[in-house]
Amino acid sequence: MNEYAPLPVGWLDLITDLHIALMQHFPEVAVTEMTSDRGWLHVRVNDSGLDPAERFRLDRLVQGFVTQSLTTCMGCGSHHGRDRGERKEITCEDCEES
Ligand SMILES: [Zn+2]
């Protein structure tokens, strides 16, 4: 079952890039969950068909995108976003003001 909660508009590029990277490097891996409700990109994949070395590579790949999500504004996608802690949101100064 796929569980796709609505993801922030500002993360669309990031998420598209992640999907492309997965298709290129791990076409057999299915994303089972992708959410933003913790304040960062949370991704779960079905990696049961991979050997440990591949799993490690996949983990590194996904982790890179998760790290990027921590500074990507959920509103406009700029890379100047920062964590708004208690709101579990990442926004840039421009989006905070408007
Ligand atoms: Zn913004």
Show me where the domains of the chain are located: 3-70
Give the number of other Cβ atoms within 10 Å of residue 49's Cβ: 11
For the cut 90, the answer to whether the pLDDT of residue 67 exceeds it is yes
Closest among 21, 19, 63 to 41, alpha carbons compared:
63
Q: If you measure from the C-alpha of residue 80 to the centroid of ligand 1, how many angstroms do you get, rounded to a whole number?
A: 7
Q: If you measure from the C-alpha of residue 75 to the centroid of ligand 1, how many angstroms do you get, rounded to a whole number?
A: 5
For the cut 50, the answer to whether the pLDDT of residue 2 exceeds it is no
Q: If you measure from the C-alpha of residue 46 to the centroid of ligand 1, how many angstroms do you get, rounded to a whole number?
A: 32
Is the torsion defined by CA of 96, 82, 55, 58 positive or negative? positive
Average pLDDT of the chain is: 93
What percentage of residues in the chain have a pLDDT greater than 90?
87
Global confidence as pTM: 0.89
Give Cα separations from 20 to 24, 27, 87 (angstroms).
6, 9, 30
Alpha helices in the chain (DSSP H): 12-25, 52-69, 93-97
Q: Report the pLDDT value the prediction gives residue 4, as an integer from 0 to 100.
A: 55
